[in-house]
Amino acid sequence: MRPQHVLGGTFKLHDGQLMPLIGLGTSPKTWSTGWKWSQQEMDAAINAALESGYRLFDTAHVYDNDDVLSNAFKRLLPKFNLTREDIFVTTKVEIIIPNVQENARKILDKSKQAFEYLDLVLVHYPKYWYMKENDCKDNPVHRYEIYKVLEEYKDKGDILSIGVSNFEPRHIEELLQKVKYPPTVNQCEFHPHLCRPELKKYCQEKGIFLQAHTSLATNSEELYNSPIIKELSAKYSISIQHLLLSFAFKQNVGVIPKSSNPERIRENIKFLDFDLSGEDIKEMLTLDKGFDGRYNTNCNQWDVL
């Protein structure tokens, strides 16, 4: 993507590509009801995001919104004198068994058709999501198979960067022994109740950019009512949501807050208006609860073989 005037700045991935630190998440509003964005909702969200300066847009095959998202880009990029090269599209491809590679190619071909090319593709989860067993001996085989397909598409120029999502260090180490292109990004749940210090250190050492999902901890009452969180929110005269986004951003962790509400999309970026101190970040880190602090119940990758 073109680097100029990117809201919040960029991070240079180890493959040389510039990735915005701030983006818009487009996951479903609720997984339980299978809610999907309407074209009207997506158009309104993308219009607000582009107008506000967002340039990274995060989607996934399981979100089932390639069509409405690509339509929104076609309609709205010209309005802001932007082209496809001015935005960064991340999508995620999940392992589907059997025929892991054939299924991955079908997903990627559909996404490529929607977005012309893909700036970043992540392996969404370190196993087939709907398999109850986490200790399946074929999990490492499936991860390698899908990753090789991503490398195949990168060699063709259809994918610019490859990464992973919800991977633990051991999953990444296993890939590093065999793959051509090391992962550039790892997207994981990250907030004061789930700080992942070991994972964060590992990614830094390997030059892997850590990007947060579930940054707002699903508005957890326990976290939001924590004395530390309430005191810091009052100290800076900001919302708790802004405090949590800044917590990640100030640690050079990317954020992709999700919203379909145009006003909320505009509001979310106001966390850039204040400077959270290092001492206050350290205080927030004391709230870490380890794996007990997760709020995205779809992910328990630390148990996956």
| Residue 5 belongs to a domain | no
Q: Residue 205 has which token pair? A: 């050492």
Q: Is 78 inside a domain boundary?
A: yes
Provide the pLDDT for residue 138: 96
Q: Is residue 302 part of a domain?
A: no
pLDDT digits over 195-247, tens only?
999 999 999 999 999 999 999 999 999 999 999 999 999 999 999 999 999 99
Residue 305 lies in a domain: no
Single-letter amino acid code for the residue at 34: G
Considering 63, 147, 202, 236, which one is annotated as catalytic?
63
Domain that holds residue 17: 10-295
The end-to-end CA distance of the chain, in Å, is 36
| Residue 303 domain flag | no
**Number of domains making up the chain:** 1
Q: How far apart are CA 198 and CA 168, in angstroms?
A: 10
Residue 300 lies in a domain: no
Whether 224 sits among the annotated catalytic residues: the reply is no
Unique residue bearing structure tokens 């993507």: 1
CATH number, domain of 230, equals: 3.20.20.100
Please give the model's pTM, rounded to 2 decimal places: 0.96
30 pLDDT tier (thresholds 50, 70, 90): low
Q: What is the dihedral of CA 248, 255, 128, 208, to 10 degrees?
A: -70
Check the annotation: does 124 bind a ligand.
yes
| pLDDT tens sequence across 269-287 | 999 999 999 999 999 999 9
For 281, the 3-state DSSP assignment is: helix
Is residue 279 a part of any domain in this protein?
A: yes
Which residue in the block uniquely carries the two structure tokens 């579930």? 214
For residue 187, give the nearest of 56, 49, 15, 53 by alpha carbon. Answer: 56
